[in-house]
Amino acid sequence: MRTGAAAALLMLTLSGCASTLPGDGELAAGADGEQSTTGAPPSADRTQSAPTASSPAPTPTTSPTTSPTATSDPDPGGLTCSAPAVTPPGAPYCYSVPGGLSEIDLGDPTAGEEGSFRTSFGFGPADHIDVQAYIVGVDTDGLSDEEIIAELAGVVTDLEAGGFDFVDEPELITVDGARGFVYPGTSNDGGQVITAHFVFRGVNEVQLNCAVTERPEVIATACADVLASMQVLG
């Protein structure tokens, strides 16, 4: 998924935090939504971004009291998260603003390429939630769980190369009726706990990373709230 290597199954390629199936690097938006124009061309290999490491921890230059991505209005593409909600214009996802967290800038990913419509909340690289979206090259609704897990194995391997250790077999969950695959992990030094969630619907993939070092209860609650409130377009 994240290596960009071709797979025999439906010619799938999964690329790290980037789309896990072959695509053009642009996000499929909902009706009236804008598409990302910063993606790689169809022939380019892409790697998915690894969870942000806990060190060094840059200090955000600002702490906005109101998220610039937040909106209280239903998305015209069919997203209806309760206000205050995080709904980047054109994104295929929304979720309720997690309580107790401020929007932050995590900077460039420690490995790979960041996705589209990235939103992050927390206290910095050590403790945060991070949401990104990617387009995939096929309708994932037609793939079995086993097919997606087989491709995600390569994605997880790429993430581990960035300094993390993840479980081999994911937990299967449902997010807004869409299939989700959860990979708990830790940094190699044992100082940070990472839980990577991959949610698939149609041609869209949404990834949620929940990272904890010093504030486990706050981040765990925020992560659960985001998953419970998240809506994903296909």
Rounded to two decimals, what is the model's pTM?
A: 0.72
Q: What is the pLDDT of residue 31?
A: 31
H/E element, 216 = helix 216-229
Tell me how far apart the alpha carbons of residues 195 and 200 are, in angstroms, rounded to a whole number: 16
Q: What is the pLDDT of residue 113?
A: 55
Q: What is the pLDDT of residue 195?
A: 97
pLDDT of 217 strictly over 90: yes
Partners of 207 in the β-ladder: 132, 198
Query: Within a 10 A sphere around the Cβ of 28, how many other Cβ atoms?
Result: 23
Place of tokens 């206290």: 123
Q: Which of 14-18, 143-147, 171-175, 186-190 has the lowest mean pLDDT?
A: 14-18
Q: What is the pLDDT of residue 76?
A: 44
Q: What is the pLDDT of residue 110?
A: 61
Burial of 208 (0-12, 13-18, 19+ CB in 10 A): buried
pLDDT of 169 strictly over 50: yes
Question: Which token pair is 16?
Answer: 């790290």
The mean pLDDT of the chain is 74
What superfamily in CATH does domain 9-57+92-232 come from?
Mog1/PsbP, alpha/beta/alpha sandwich (3.40.1000.10)
Tell me how far apart the alpha carbons of residues 150 and 147 are, in angstroms, rounded to a whole number: 5
Task: Calculate mean pLDDT across residues 101-124.
Answer: 84
Domain ranges within the chain, ordered by starting residue: 9-57+92-232
